[in-house]
């Protein structure tokens, strides 16, 4: 699992936010388009693409996209 692919998949859940905004260091809670609906879409994408269930609390605890990526890696049992 690569961070670049994860960032792309994460960014794919947003419609109005420019793709250049997204990097592993993006503080996604501060994006204008971010909402509870986007959070649910990201959770669903993670389940479909990575085969793990991220809880809403995990989304709330993550600050950057990389934080969320590390949570997914941990849930998958990857180092």
pLDDT range class, residue 67, cuts 50, 70, 90: very high
Instruction: Kindly report the backbone phi and psi dihedral angles of residue 55, in degrees, each rounded to the nearest multiple of 5, phi listed first.
Output: -80, 155
Q: Which residue segment(s) compose the domain that 42 sits in?
A: 3-14+21-76
**For residue 7, what is the domain's CATH number?**
1.10.1200.10
Is the pLDDT assigned to residue 32 strictly greater than 80? Answer: yes
Q: What is the full DSSP assignment across 24-76? A: TT-BGGGSTT--HHHHHHHHHHHHHHH-----HHHHHH--BHHHHHHHHHHHH
Is the pLDDT assigned to residue 79 strictly greater than 80? Answer: no
- The Cα–Cα gap between 39 and 60 comes to 9
* Predicted pLDDT of residue 78: 83
Whole-number percent of the chain with pLDDT over 90: 95
How many structural domains are present in the chain?
1
């Amino acid at each position: 699992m690569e961070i670049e692919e994860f960032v792309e998949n994460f960014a794919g859940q947003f419609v109005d936010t420019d793709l250049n905004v997204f990097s592993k260091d993006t503080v996604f809670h501060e994006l204008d388009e971010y909402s509870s609906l986007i959070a649910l879409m990201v959770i669903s994408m993670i389940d479909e693409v990575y085969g793990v269930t991220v809880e809403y609390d995990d989304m709330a605890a993550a600050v950057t996209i990389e934080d969320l990526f590390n949570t997914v890696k941990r849930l998958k049992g990857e180092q």
